């Protein structure tokens, strides 16, 4: 489908949707616990639905009523013989592959693009600990054998989701598990989020920094304990688009339901917007931004690569040069985001270039209308909608329905902030 966006600045107040990153982790922990857990998460997405269906296939029983997921642990249900379908969710696959290996194996399948996203470092680590896997990451793949405890060694310049998957599986193993990750560790805040959720479910890891590595140790006899209830916090990743919109708008935008103490990596959006010169206001449970003359900046996104689609329209419109560094992992997302970000914005009049693993922008006064393709990437569709608010004519986004992957209500909230959008078939 095609979204036609008219160039109208956004402004107002909007509630944050629940964090997809936190929901994935909480649902897996709940499914592995000793008793049922009620998880408050008022919205879902295609990625969360993929995790739910895979956990159900592993034997968990999950019901939902008015935004409350009641999760009965895997031990209470019956495993389904069919494959675990991860659809397009990299988090689902990377989190559950080690968990399934700890439980005795499973077959995974997913969308074609998911097979293209790297998985081999995690597969090698699992193979070194007693697991047989019949491909090097191509789907479908079958895991057989049972994962054994011990020391897992991973390079630091890979997805933090591999570390999260092993952390989630470790309490299921017979013996002490040590996960050694070479420094520097990319996307470390996402590992911190995993550790925070694990702590809520009774699992604590010892963290040691030595010999150029960060080691996460989970002692033998650890066991998941249900907290009874868990409330998923507001999502900084998707709120970042609205906060960036506020930085482009004289009216400004406030997002409510965000915790300033959250471990989510994309809380860094506030610092990034400040570097661009936007006005940023904070309270204990909300964040607000407004336009105050945007200037170019140098921003390292190695710990928060998902922020780049949100800040890229600001980089395109800020006075002077902007360098977005540490962006190598963008090549491995739902699309090659280095290419799709620069290509999409350049089609609307930006001056963006790729230099090694950096995005470099020379600021322009205004973007123009036109047609772009979302590249089947939810964050590219959101970025294009944000950029369209500062264009001099309508922008047509082909394949814009892909926002449902993480934020099914994106365009409804876009309209709630004053955006002008209509669907064309």
Model confidence over 138-191: pLDDT tens digits?
A: 999 999 999 999 999 999 888 899 999 999 999 999 999 999 999 988 889 999
| Extents of the domains making up the chain | 2-17+235-424, 20-217
Nearest to 124 by CA among 101, 104, 107, 106: 101
Tokens of 43: 């919205």
**Do the strands 61-65 and 286-290 form a parallel or antiparallel pair, or are they unpaired?**
unpaired
**Alpha helices (H) along 298-402:** 308-317, 337-347, 378-388
Please check the confidence at residue 354 and state whether its pLDDT lies above 80: yes
CA atoms within 13 A on the CB side of 55: 31
Percent of the chain with pLDDT over 70: 100
pLDDT for residue 131: 97
Q: Classify domain 2-17+235-424 at the CATH class level.
A: alpha beta
Confidence check: pLDDT of 221 > 90: no
CA angle (136 as vertex; 376, 302 as ends), nearest 5: 55
Q: Residue range 107-115: average pLDDT?
A: 93
pLDDT of residue 78: 72
Percent of the chain surpassing pLDDT 90: 92
Answer for the pair 230, 27: CB distance below 8 angstroms, yes or no: no
Q: Give the pLDDT of residue 220.
A: 78
Q: What share of the chain is helix, strand, coil (3-state, %, to 5)?
A: 35, 25, 35
DSSP 326: S
Let me know: does 315 contact 324? Beta carbons within 8 Å.
Answer: yes
Collect all residues with Cβ–Cβ distance below 8 Å to 345 and sequence separation of at least 6: 312, 313, 316, 352, 367, 383, 387
The pLDDT value recorded for residue 298 is 98
Residue 425's pLDDT is what? 76
Q: Whose CA is closest to 241, among 113, 26, 419, 366?
A: 419
Q: Whole-number mean pLDDT of the chain?
A: 95
Half-sphere exposure of residue 234, counting CA atoms within 13 Å on the CB side? 18
- What's CA 354's distance to the chain center, in Å? 23
Residues near 352 by Cβ (< 8 Å), separated by ≥ 6? Answer: 312, 315, 316, 341, 342, 345, 346, 359, 360, 361
Distance, CA of 158 to chain centre: 15
Length of the chain measured in residues: 425
Q: What's the mean pLDDT in 78-107?
A: 92
Model confidence at 328, pLDDT cuts 50, 70, 90, reads very high
Fold match between 2-17+235-424 and 20-217? yes
- Does residue 373 have an active-site annotation? no
Q: Would you list the DSSP string of 268-307?
A: GHHHHHHHTT-EEEEETTEEEEE-S--B--EEE-TT-GGG
pLDDT of residue 89: 96
Nearest to 25 by CA among 177, 235, 183: 235
Alpha-carbon span 387 to 390, nearest angstrom: 6
Residue 184, preceding peptide bond in cis (omega within 30° of 0):
yes
- What's the mean pLDDT in 296-322? 97
Q: Please report where in the chains the tokens 């090698």 appear, as a residue.
A: 124
Instruction: Please report the pLDDT score of residue 381 as a whole number.
Output: 98
Going by CATH, does the domain composed of 20-217 fall within 3.10.530.10? no
The catalytically annotated residue of 235, 306, 373, 377 is 306
Nearest to 272 by CA among 247, 299, 235: 299
What's the rounded mean pLDDT across residues 125-146? 96
Other Cβ atoms less than 10 A from the Cβ of 134: the count is 11
């Amino acid at each position: 489908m095609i979204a036609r966006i008219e160039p109208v600045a956004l402004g107002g107040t909007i509630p944050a949707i629940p964090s997809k990153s936190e929901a994935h982790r909480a649902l897996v922990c709940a499914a592995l616990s000793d008793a049922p857990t009620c998880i408050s998460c008022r919205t879902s997405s295609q990625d969360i639905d993929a995790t739910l269906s895979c956990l159900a296939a592993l034997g968990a029983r999950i019901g939902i009523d008015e935004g409350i997921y009641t999760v009965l642990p895997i031990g209470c249900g019956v495993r389904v013989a069919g494959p675990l379908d991860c659809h397009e969710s990299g988090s689902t696959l990377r989190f559950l592959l080690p968990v399934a290996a700890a439980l005795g194996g499973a077959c995974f399948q997913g969308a074609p693009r998911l097979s293209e996203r790297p998985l081999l470092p995690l597969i090698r680590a699992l193979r070194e600990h007693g697991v047989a896997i019949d491909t090097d990451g191509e789907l479908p793949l079958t895991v057989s054998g049972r994962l054994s405890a011990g020391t897992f060694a991973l390079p630091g310049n890979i997805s933090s989701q591999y570390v999260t998957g092993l952390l989630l599986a470790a309490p299921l193993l017979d013996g002490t598990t040590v996960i050694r990750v070479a420094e520097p560790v990319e996307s470390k805040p996402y590992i911190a989020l995993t550790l925070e959720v694990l702590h809520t479910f009774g699992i604590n890891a010892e963290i040691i920094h030595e010999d150029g590595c960060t080691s996460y140790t989970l002692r033998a006899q650890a066991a998941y304990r249900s907290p009874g209830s868990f409330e998923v916090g507001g999502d900084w990743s998707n709120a970042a688009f609205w906060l960036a919109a506020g930085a482009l708008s004289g009216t400004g935008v406030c997002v409510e339901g965000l915790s300033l103490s959250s471990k989510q990596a994309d809380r860094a959006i506030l610092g990034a917007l400040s570097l661009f010169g936007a006005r940023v206001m904070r309270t204990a449970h909300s964040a607000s931004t407004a336009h105050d003359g945007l200037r170019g900046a140098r921003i390292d996104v190695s710990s928060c690569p998902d922020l780049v689609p949100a800040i890229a329209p600001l980089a395109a419109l800020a006075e002077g040069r902007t360098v977005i560094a540490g962006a190598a992992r963008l090549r491995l997302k739902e699309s090659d985001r280095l290419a799709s970000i620069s290509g999409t914005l350049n089609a609307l009049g930006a001056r963006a270039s790729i230099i090694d693993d950096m995005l470099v922008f020379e600021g322009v006064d205004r973007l123009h209308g036109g047609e772009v393709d979302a590249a089947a990437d939810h964050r590219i569709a959101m970025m294009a909608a944000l950029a369209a608010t500062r264009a001099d004519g309508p922008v047509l986004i082909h394949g814009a329905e892909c926002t449902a992957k993480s934020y099914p209500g994106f365009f409804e909230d876009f309209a709630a902030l004053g955006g002008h959008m209509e669907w064309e078939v």
